[in-house]
A and B are shown apart, each in its own frame.
Chain A
Amino acid sequence: MADVATDVLEVIAKQAKVEPAKVARETELADLNLESLDTIELIFSLEEKFNIEIPYNANEATTAGINFTTAGDVIDAVAKLVAEQKGSAA
């Protein structure tokens, strides 16, 4: 679980072009100046890194119960998807 958290924070930091130390569970993604394209690139990087599928649709306010307000939300969503999709990815 700690590995997932560290890796997720690293991916977010890379997308936001900040030092990983600057991104913590409580960090709000909005404060990192992530725009709409950044968000879909972030989702792409997370999917690639963890070999999961994140059911994100840019037209929906919430996606299948996933809320990406804070970095902690992202960690929790990724951890859940990793557990659900383990062994089912090609």
Chain B
Amino acid sequence: MNRVVVTGLGVCASLGKNATEFSAALRAGKSAIGPISIFETDGLITKIGAQVLDFDPAAYFDSNKLPLYDRCTQLALVAAREAIRQSGLDFRAGLGARSATIIGSGVGGQTTQDENYQRLYLQGLKRCHPLTIPKLMINAPCCHITMEHGITGPSFVIASACSSANHAIGVAFQMVRSGMVEAAVTGGTEAVFTFGTIRGWEALRVMAPDTCRPFSAGRKGMVLGEGAAVLVLETRERALARGAEILAEIIGFGSTSDASDIVMPALDGAAGAIAACLQDASLAPAEVDYVNAHGTGTAANDVTETNALHKVFGDHAKKLAVSSTKSMHGHTLGAAGAIELAATIAAMRGGFIPPTANFAGVDPQCDLDYVPNEARSGHINVAISNSFAFGGHNAVVAVRRA
């Protein structure tokens, strides 16, 4: 079994259109949640989100390629470019056939779908753009990464709602660990800011009207975000042999299903995934310093997740630093696991612990150290990142500082 390391990291999200900006924003405890401006929100109850502002596709893509790319593909390609550039790997030089591309996304090309429906149903137009299907298909972000970088090994998108990216990273990790491939490009992307999508989310009655306050008293629910993060994984041996800079080491992956309720989380499912991850990583609970929580800011998740951490970590739970960076970058759904692992690695490298922003006061049912409002100086040696999705898909990734 190979040890698996991260040699490239790229981010294109609301907190920053590259990993450096992203890391600085996390350290500053800055929240990217604000009024939605990328479409007209008249009539919506939910008017806030964490958007990737001032993103000019023309700055990143040729006009002949752009018609193929939904926004979620655009964000993924930008993040992938940064990660692959940092890794220094040239997939076209032979490595491509021995590399995997595994990307997570919850719903793929929503903007394209929405525009297409408006053309057909609203405007009564007779035909849709010929590239509609290839643009909206959920695998599009993945295939365009393989095409842009010449990666010819196994590739597919994994969709498990809010756990998609953690599942994608976990599968890519397992493929490199087992020797099935030597390297992998993995992560997640999501861009769902359309009128119809926000309406759909509103109907679930879990959207916060004010902001995202995970674990805090007075929290009123979720705030959506958009963005992508991509990591390059390779065997530690290969990275050392070529003198690559190792950013972090992925050490474990755990995954369970609640098999319970379509929206409400189950304690055993969440605790089981955390425990499975620790076991996969051969970690004793006391070795974990930091938890990047799923922490959506809903009444249900934050209590269940707190209880799951108590259950798995026992006395050590009170010593953990637990924060939800969703408070800053929003809930990025299928990209969440990737953006949150990127946040964890950025914090490890930067010598800080990311805060839970917008923390207004203690909820007696959430009694752990959530690093309220301000980042803390400190070294994270070992961390886990949780994702607990609608439908009960739980996925947890463990990472160690390089």
Residues of A at the B interface (CB closer than 8 Å) are 35-37, 40, 43-44, 53, 56-60, 90
Smallest CB separation, A37 vs chain B (Å): 7
Smallest CB separation, A33 vs chain B (Å): 14
Most buried by B among A53, A59, A90: A59
* Interface band, chain B: 20 to 34
Given A58-B298, A59-B299, verify A40-B220 contact (CB < 8 Å).
no
**Is residue B205 within 8 Å, beta carbon to beta carbon, of the partner chain?**
yes
**CB-CB < 8 A to A56: which residues of B?**
205
Instruction: List 19 extra interface pairs beyond A57-B206, A57-B220, A59-B220, CB under 8 A.
Output: A36-B261, A37-B261, A37-B263, A40-B203, A40-B205, A44-B203, A53-B45, A57-B205, A57-B207, A57-B209, A57-B221, A58-B205, A58-B298, A58-B300, A59-B208, A59-B221, A59-B299, A59-B300, A90-B43
Complex CA gap A40/B202 in Å reads 11
Query: Could you name 17 residue pairs across A and B whose Cβ atoms are closer than 8 Å?
Result: A36-B261, A36-B263, A37-B262, A40-B204, A40-B205, A43-B205, A56-B205, A57-B209, A57-B220, A57-B221, A58-B204, A58-B205, A58-B300, A59-B208, A59-B221, A59-B298, A60-B299
Complex CA gap A57/B201 in Å reads 12
Closest to B264 in A: A36
**CB-CB < 8 A to A37: which residues of B?**
261-263
> When the two chains form their complex, are residues B263 and A60 in contact, meaning their CB atoms are under 8 A apart?
no
Residues of B at the A interface (CB closer than 8 Å) are 43, 45, 203-209, 219-221, 261-264, 297-300
Smallest CB separation, B332 vs chain A (Å): 19
> When the two chains form their complex, are residues B263 and A59 in contact, meaning their CB atoms are under 8 A apart?
no
**CB-CB < 8 A to A40: which residues of B?**
203-205
Smallest CB separation, A81 vs chain B (Å): 14
